[in-house]
Chains A and B, each alone.
Chain A
C-alpha cells in the first residue's frame, strides 16, 4: 500500500465566502440600479435589505462550516445570487405596477426566502447523513404522490390560470408539486437502488436492445399513469413532462439500460399525442407553440407573444434594469420572469443567468459522480436533473422550444412553495456533496483503530 498518498481535499469554505460576498454585492448593485433607473434616487432601504441578505447568506455559510465543511463551495453562492436577482426583479415589477401595501410581492418573496433559507439550514443541521433519507423511501412515495394529486381534492384544490396545481387553505395558497418533486426523487432513489439489479439484469434481447421482463414494467407504468393523470386532470403539461422525464432518467442511471429510455419516450409521446387529440387545452397550448402569431393564437393568448416581444426589445445588451417594460407581459414575475430578465439585462445577461443554472446542475452531477453510495448517487443525479429539466421546461416554454407550461424558474420566480422546495433541494445536495468530498479516514487512523486492544467496528 505504499502507493497510497494521503491527499486531503481542502474544504474550500473561504472560496465560498468570497463568492457569497460577490453574489450579495451583485444583487445590491442590481437593486441600486433599479432604484436609480426608476426613482432616480438612492433606494433608502438598500442598507436594510443588503444587511438582511448578507446575514442570511453568512448564517448559512457558518452552518456549513460547522456541519458540512466539505460541502460544495459553489452551490450556496449561486442559489443566493439567483434568489437575490429574482427579488430585485420582483421589486422592480412592484414599482412598475404601482403596487402598495399588502399587494407588494417583493416583501412576501423576501419573507419566503428567509423561511426557505432557515428550513434549508435546518435540513443541513438535522440531516447528518443523506443515507438516512433512504429509510423514508415509501413514506416519501406516499406523501409525494399525495401532494402531487392533492390539488385534485375538492375543497382545497384551486384552479388558477387554467391549471389545477394549487391548494389553498384560507388566504394561503401553495403549489405542492414543487415539494412533491423532492419527495419523489427520494422515493425513486430508494426504490431503484433496491431494485436496480432485477431491472437491469433480467430480461431478453430484442433487436440488439435488452428489454426488461413484462412484470418489471410495473413501476414505469405507474409513473407514466401518474404523469398522464397530472397532465389530464391538473392540466399541467410542465409538471407532467418533468416528473416522467425525471423518472426515466433515474431509471436509466440506476440500470444503465438504454431500453428504458426508449420505452419511456414511446410511452410519453403516445400519452402526449392522445392527450392532444382528446383535450382542447392541450391543443391550444400546441397552437400557441407552433403559431403564436396566428389570428386564432392571438385570440387565445397574447402572453407568449408579448414575452417574445419583450425579449426581442432587450436585444443583446438589454434595456437596463428598470428601463424596459416587462410589466406589459402577464405574470412577468413568475412564469415569465425569464423574458423579464431577457428584456432588461439582454441576451448577455440571460446567458449569464442560464450559465449559473448550468453550473449549479453541473455541481450536482459532479457530486453524484463523487459520492460513494448508490442511493446518494441516484438522489444527487435526480435532484440535479430535475432542476435542469425544470429550467428547460420553463425557458423552453417561453422561447418556443416546447409548448408553454406553467412552471416556475427555480429561485428566480415569485412563489413561496418554489423557494422552499429549491432551497431544501440545494440543502440536500450540499449534504451529499459534503459526503462526497469528505476524505476517508487516514489509513494510519484505521490502522491505529485496528491495532487497538478493543475491537472497534466503524460503520462509516
Chain B
C-alpha cells in the first residue's frame, strides 16, 4: 500500500501548493486592487488612524485633521465651512474622500503616495507615527472671499488666474455646502447631510467652475473668434466688416440679429474693435462664416478647448461641435449653439491674451509640505500652448480695453487701473433667463490677474441680465481684492 500513499502525499503537496499560491495571489499580487476597492472599511480605518495632511491657503488651514476622542483617532474639520467647499471637497467615513482636493490629492494627504516613499521609510526607522503631507494652495484668500461675497446668493462660478503662471487665485462655485457635516463622526447625521446634499436642486456638490454641466459662453466666445480673425492675417482691429441689424444665414431662412435689432455702425459697417466693444452679433457671425468652422475650432483648441486638464481635480473639457454647417458656424462664432465651456476655460482665454498669447497650465497646488511644513515638492508653472502671437494678443488687449472703457463692460472699471474685458449673455433655452458672463484681466499693461465670472439664469436680474450688468461688477470686486488689497 506504500506506493499509493506516496502518490497521495504528492496530492497533499499539490493541495497545499494551491493554497500557498491562492494566499499569495490575495495578499501580494492583487492586494493593492483589493485595498482600493469601494467599500473597503479597513482602508478607511487605516487612513483615519493617521493624521491626514492639511489643505492650506496662505499658510492657514481650510481643511485639517484634529484629534478626536473616539475610535477614529482624527476628525476632519473645515475652518472656513462653506467658502472652500468645492475646492477641498469632503472626507467622509461613509462616503470616502471626494468632491475636490480631498479626493484628487488623497494619496498625498493620506501619506500613501509613492512621492512620500522615502519619508515613510524614515518614519518606519525612527518609529515616528506616519502622517500625510499638507498641500498649500495658490488661492488668494482675499480674492476667494471677494468672489464669494460678490456672487452672493446667485448661482454661478468665479475663477481667477494669475496669467503669468496659471496659478488659480480664486475658485468659487455657488451654491456651496459645508463639508464638515460629511466628515463628522456622527454617522447618522452624515447620512442625513449626504441625502439632503444629494437631493438639493441647486446641486451644491458640483464644482461649477471646472466640472459643472458646462455653459454656453455667449459673447465672451467672440474673443476666440476675434483671435482667429486677427491670426488669419486677413483682418486687423481696424478692418471694416459688415454689421447689419440682422445677418442673413446661408442655407436657411433664419437670421442672426443684433441684441438691439439695430445696425452696429453707419452703413451697416463696423470696425472689428467697435464690433467687440458693443458685442455685435451680426459682425461676428459674418466673421465666423468668413473664417469657417475649422479655423474657429483650431483657434479654440489652442486656447485649451478639448483638453482634459487636471488642476489636480479633473476639468471637464470645453467643446465645439465636431460637425458644423454654415448657420451653426455663425451661431457658434458668437458663443451660441452647442459651444460649451467651463468658467476656467474662459478665464484661460483672458489669461492667454494677457500673457502675450501663451496659455499657462492652470494649477491649484502651490507646494506640498511635510507635517513640519518643510517643502517636499513645488509646482513649476508650465506652458500649455501658444494661442495667438504676441502682436495679436496686444491687439486683442486694446480691443478688450475699449469694451470696459466705453462698451458693454463699463461696470468693471476701476479707478487708476486699466481693465480689459468682455461681456457675455448666453441664451440657454426659450423661457429661461440667459446666463450672464464676464471675463477680464488687469492691469491691461502688465496683467497679474485674469478672471471669468458666470451667473446662472441672469442671477438676481432675471431676464434683463446681460453680462455687463450682473457679472462685470463681480469680476471688478475680485480684481480689486487682488490689486488693491
Determine if A361 and B26 form an interchain contact, defined as CB atoms under 8 angstroms apart: no
Q: Is B9 an interface residue (CB 8 A)?
A: yes
Q: Give the residue of A253, A346, A391, A400 whose beta carbon is less than 8 angstroms from that of B22.
A: A400
CB closest residue in chain A, given B43: A313
CB closest residue in chain B, given A324: B42
B12 contacts across to A, CB distance below 8 A: 358, 361-362, 365, 384-385, 388
CB closest residue in chain B, given A316: B28
Of the candidate stretches B29-37, B197-205, B213-221, B402-410, the one touching chain A is: B29-37
CB distance from A306 to the nearest CB of B (A): 8
Assembly CA distance A198 to B189 (angstroms): 74
Determine if A325 and B42 form an interchain contact, defined as CB atoms under 8 angstroms apart: yes
Q: Is A368 an interface residue (CB 8 A)?
A: yes
Assembly CA distance A316 to B26 (angstroms): 10
B42 contacts across to A, CB distance below 8 A: 309-310, 313, 324-325, 328, 343
CB closest residue in chain B, given A328: B41
Query: Scoring B residues 1 to 33 as 1 if CB is less than 8 Å from chain A, else 0, what string do you get?
Result: 111111011011101101110111111101111
Q: Give the residue of A365, A378, A396, A400 whose beta carbon is less than 8 angstroms from that of B9.
A: A365
Assembly CA distance A306 to B39 (angstroms): 9
B41 contacts across to A, CB distance below 8 A: 306, 309, 325, 328
A395 contacts across to B, CB distance below 8 A: 19, 22-23
Determine if B23 and A313 form an interchain contact, defined as CB atoms under 8 angstroms apart: no
Q: Is B40 an interface residue (CB 8 A)?
A: yes
Q: Give the residue of B5, B11, B16, B24 whose beta carbon is less than 8 angstroms from that of A357.
A: B16
Determine if B22 and A309 form an interchain contact, defined as CB atoms under 8 angstroms apart: no
A342 contacts across to B, CB distance below 8 A: 23, 26-27
Assembly CA distance A293 to B33 (angstroms): 12
Determine if B18 and A346 form an interchain contact, defined as CB atoms under 8 angstroms apart: no
CB distance from A365 to the nearest CB of B (A): 5
Q: Is B460 an interface residue (CB 8 A)?
A: no
Determine if B23 and A399 form an interchain contact, defined as CB atoms under 8 angstroms apart: yes
Interface size class of A (residues with CB under 8 A): 35 or more
B8 contacts across to A, CB distance below 8 A: 249, 252-253, 365, 381, 385
Assembly CA distance A399 to B22 (angstroms): 6
A346 contacts across to B, CB distance below 8 A: 27
Q: Is B45 an interface residue (CB 8 A)?
A: yes
CB distance from A401 to the nearest CB of B (A): 5
Q: Is A389 an interface residue (CB 8 A)?
A: yes
CB distance from B129 to the nearest CB of A (A): 13
Q: Is B46 an interface residue (CB 8 A)?
A: yes
Assembly CA distance A325 to B35 (angstroms): 13
Assembly CA distance A400 to B43 (angstroms): 21
Q: Give the residue of B6, B18, B34 whose beta carbon is less than 8 angstroms from that of A396.
A: B18
A306 contacts across to B, CB distance below 8 A: 41
Q: Is A254 an interface residue (CB 8 A)?
A: yes
Determine if B6 and A316 form an interchain contact, defined as CB atoms under 8 angstroms apart: no
Assembly CA distance A101 to B22 (angstroms): 38
Query: Scoring B residues 214 to 250 as 1 if CB is less than 8 Å from chain A, else 0, what string do you get?
Result: 0000000000000000000000000000000000000
Determine if A351 and B20 form an interchain contact, defined as CB atoms under 8 angstroms apart: yes
B13 contacts across to A, CB distance below 8 A: 358
Contacts A313-B35, A313-B42, A388-B15 given; does A377 touch B5 at CB 8 Å:
yes
A377 contacts across to B, CB distance below 8 A: 1-2, 5
A254 contacts across to B, CB distance below 8 A: 1
Query: Scoring A residues 154 to 187 as 1 if CB is less than 8 Å from chain B, else 0, what string do you get?
Result: 0000000000000000000000000000000000
B40 contacts across to A, CB distance below 8 A: 309, 313
Within 8 A of A (CB), among B28-62: 28, 30-35, 37, 39-43, 45-46
Determine if A354 and B27 form an interchain contact, defined as CB atoms under 8 angstroms apart: no
A interface, over-half SS: helix
Contacts A253-B4, A315-B27 given; does A399 touch B9 at CB 8 Å:
no
Contacts A253-B5, A313-B46 given; does A358 touch B16 at CB 8 Å:
yes
Determine if A354 and B16 form an interchain contact, defined as CB atoms under 8 angstroms apart: yes
Q: Give the residue of A350, A389, A392 whose beta carbon is less than 8 angstroms from that of B23.
A: A350
Determine if A396 and B22 form an interchain contact, defined as CB atoms under 8 angstroms apart: yes
CB distance from A394 to the nearest CB of B (A): 9
B6 contacts across to A, CB distance below 8 A: 369
Determine if B30 and A312 form an interchain contact, defined as CB atoms under 8 angstroms apart: yes
Assembly CA distance A310 to B23 (angstroms): 12
Within 8 A of B (CB), among A109-137: none
Determine if B19 and A256 form an interchain contact, defined as CB atoms under 8 angstroms apart: no
B43 contacts across to A, CB distance below 8 A: 309, 313
Assembly CA distance A362 to B13 (angstroms): 9
Assembly CA distance A342 to B82 (angstroms): 43
CB closest residue in chain A, given B7: A252
CB distance from A78 to the nearest CB of B (A): 14
Determine if A381 and B5 form an interchain contact, defined as CB atoms under 8 angstroms apart: yes
CB distance from B19 to the nearest CB of A (A): 5
Determine if B26 and A311 form an interchain contact, defined as CB atoms under 8 angstroms apart: yes
Assembly CA distance A343 to B26 (angstroms): 11
Q: Give the residue of B1, B15, B18 whose beta carbon is less than 8 angstroms from that of A374.
A: B1
Q: Is A308 an interface residue (CB 8 A)?
A: yes
Within 8 A of A (CB), among B266-302: none
Q: Is A54 an interface residue (CB 8 A)?
A: no
CB closest residue in chain A, given B4: A253
B35 contacts across to A, CB distance below 8 A: 309, 312-313
Determine if B5 and A368 form an interchain contact, defined as CB atoms under 8 angstroms apart: yes
Q: Is A314 an interface residue (CB 8 A)?
A: yes
CB distance from A272 to the nearest CB of B (A): 18
Assembly CA distance A353 to B6 (angstroms): 23
A287 contacts across to B, CB distance below 8 A: none
Determine if B20 and A354 form an interchain contact, defined as CB atoms under 8 angstroms apart: yes
Assembly CA distance A314 to B26 (angstroms): 10
Assembly CA distance A300 to B444 (angstroms): 65
Determine if B16 and A347 form an interchain contact, defined as CB atoms under 8 angstroms apart: no
CB distance from A445 to the nearest CB of B (A): 27
Q: Give the residue of B4, B16, B19, B30 whose beta carbon is less than 8 angstroms from that of A252.
A: B4
CB closest residue in chain B, given A315: B31
CB distance from B302 to the nearest CB of A (A): 44
Assembly CA distance A217 to B45 (angstroms): 57
| Residue from A252, A312, A357, A358 having most chain B Cβ neighbours under 10 A | A312
Assembly CA distance A381 to B43 (angstroms): 44
Assembly CA distance A252 to B42 (angstroms): 46
Query: Scoring A residues 201 to 222 as 1 if CB is less than 8 Å from chain B, else 0, what string do you get?
Result: 0000000000000000000000
A314 contacts across to B, CB distance below 8 A: 27
- Can you list 12 A-B contacts (CB < 8 A)? A253-B4, A309-B34, A316-B28, A346-B27, A354-B16, A358-B12, A385-B12, A395-B23, A396-B18, A399-B19, A399-B26, A401-B19
Listed in ascending order, the chain B residues whose CB lies under 8 Å from chain A are: 1-6, 8-9, 11-13, 15-16, 18-20, 22-28, 30-35, 37, 39-43, 45-46
Known A328-B41, A365-B9, A395-B19; further 7 A-B contacts with Cβ < 8 A: A253-B1, A311-B31, A312-B31, A313-B31, A324-B42, A362-B12, A385-B8
Going nearest first, the 7 A-B pairs with the smallest beta carbon separation are: A312-B34, A399-B22, A312-B31, A347-B27, A392-B15, A253-B4, A313-B42
